[in-house]
């Protein structure tokens, strides 16, 4: 039978104090990590939402355009709808690369310092 481990106490030497967390949060290193994340996430999110809303608006107000045949029974609406899925996967892949190259090393350095390994 598994037992739950007791919650870490403030006396636990491996757990940083509230003051240490606050100090790290206010550090230039953490600000750079936050800036790196935001400079990627916000523009990409705004761009994707705009792209999605364009698709919705075209679907509602440009029916003739969306119904234009591209090849056989494939029309513009189907192509743009499938492109929505494609862009979702591309953004996820792009963010994964960005995180691995830019965010993870900075976060790991902060984590190591907080855990006393640096």
pTM: 0.75
What is the per-residue pLDDT for 118? 46
Measured between alpha carbons, how far is 22 from 20 in angstroms, rounded to an integer?
5
Do the beta carbons of residue 41 and residue 73 sit within 8 Å? no
Least confident of 1-5, 15-19, 110-114: 1-5
52 Cβ neighbours under 8 A, 6+ residues apart: 84
The answer to whether 80 touches 66, Cβ cutoff 8 Å, is yes
Residue written as tokens 């190259």? 101
> What's the pLDDT at 10?
53
Check whether 20 has a pLDDT greater than 90: no
Q: What is the pLDDT of residue 41?
A: 96
Q: Residue 38 pLDDT more than 80?
A: yes
Give the mean pLDDT of 62-74.
Answer: 95
**Residue ranges per domain, the chain?**
29-114
């Amino acid at each position: 039978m598994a037992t739950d481990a007791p919650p870490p106490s403030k006396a636990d030497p491996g757990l940083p104090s509230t003051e240490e967390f606050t100090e790290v949060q206010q550090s230039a290193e953490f600000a750079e990590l936050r800036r790196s994340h935001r400079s990627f996430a916000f523009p990409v999110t705004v761009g994707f939402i705009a792209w999605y809303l364009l698709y919705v608006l075209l679907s509602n107000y440009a029916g003739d355009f969306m119904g234009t045949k591209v090849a056989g029974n494939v029309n513009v609406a189907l192509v743009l709808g499938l492109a929505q899925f494609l862009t979702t996967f591309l953004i996820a892949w792009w963010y994964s690369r960005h995180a691995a190259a830019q965010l993870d090393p900075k976060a790991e350095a902060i984590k190591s310092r907080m855990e006393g390994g640096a």
